């Protein structure tokens, strides 16, 4: 049996606009971020969801609430990667190319290993999709967390993600979950802002 997961990154935040490192720290959606979330809502308006989930960050909660007015569960395991001492600092201070060849670059600064983030989000999504009632699910999470997950299930997408300088805000990743094999397959990626803004 196949189930559907719609995995969405939150809308643009103040820290995104200011090019600040934003992991476990939080900042509010900008006006553009709110419009991006509404665009994602317009793109998904004909989809019905059995359940919805977001990380514990305000930016994902606000995004989900703008996409769809429905009950949802907040989960810590859907959080963004922790960047340790780099949190809130300028993005240019981060180690170069850490996502590609230094997954543990932030550990010595009190942050997470990207491989741990990948396992954390994958296990969270497996648990969500293994729930019998969840046939069509909406999840709002974060850029590095989503990219690390996509890197495992669809590594050929990494060149595109790098060329876009990450997962676009409010990009919708349509993913199929096979209950027999407990595997995920990326079906489509859409940036609703291109069509609805």
Binding residues for substrate: 9-16, 59
Catalytic residue (one of 19, 31, 65, 80):
80
Whether 80 sits among the annotated catalytic residues: the reply is yes
Quick check: helix, strand or coil at residue 172? strand
Tokens of 82: 């922790």
Pair 129, 3: CB distance under 8 Å: yes
Q: Which residues are annotated as a binding site?
A: 9-16, 59
Angle at 76 between CA 80 and CA 22, to 5 degrees: 25
Whether 10 sits among the annotated catalytic residues: the reply is yes
For the chain, the helix, strand and coil percentages under 3-state DSSP, each to the nearest 5: 45, 20, 35
Distances 154 to 42, 43, 47, 57 between C-alpha atoms, Å: 26, 23, 23, 26
Q: Which residues are catalytic?
A: 10, 80
């Amino acid at each position: 049996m196949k189930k559907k997961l719609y995995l969405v990154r939150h809308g643009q935040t103040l820290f995104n606009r200011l090019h600040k490192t934003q992991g476990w720290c939080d900042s509010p959606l900008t006006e553009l971020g709110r419009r991006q979330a509404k665009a994602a809502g317009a793109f998904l308006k004909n989809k019905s969801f059995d359940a919805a989930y977001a990380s514990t960050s305000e930016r994902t909660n606000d995004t989900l609430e703008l996409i769809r007015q429905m009950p949802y569960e907040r989960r810590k395991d859907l959080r963004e990667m922790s960047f340790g001492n780099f949190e809130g600092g300028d993005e240019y201070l981060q180690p170069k190319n850490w996502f590609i060849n230094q997954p543990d670059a932030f550990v010595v600064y009190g942050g997470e290993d990207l491989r741990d983030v990948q396992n954390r989000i994958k296990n969270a999504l497996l648990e969500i999709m293994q729930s019998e009632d969840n046939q069509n699910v909406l999840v709002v999470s974060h850029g590095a967390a989503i990219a690390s997950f996509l890197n495992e299930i669809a590594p050929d997408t990494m060149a595109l993600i790098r060329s876009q300088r990450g997962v676009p805000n409010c990009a919708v990743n349509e993913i199929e979950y096979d209950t027999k094999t407990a595997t995920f397959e990326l079906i489509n990626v859409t940036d609703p802002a291109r069509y609805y803004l």
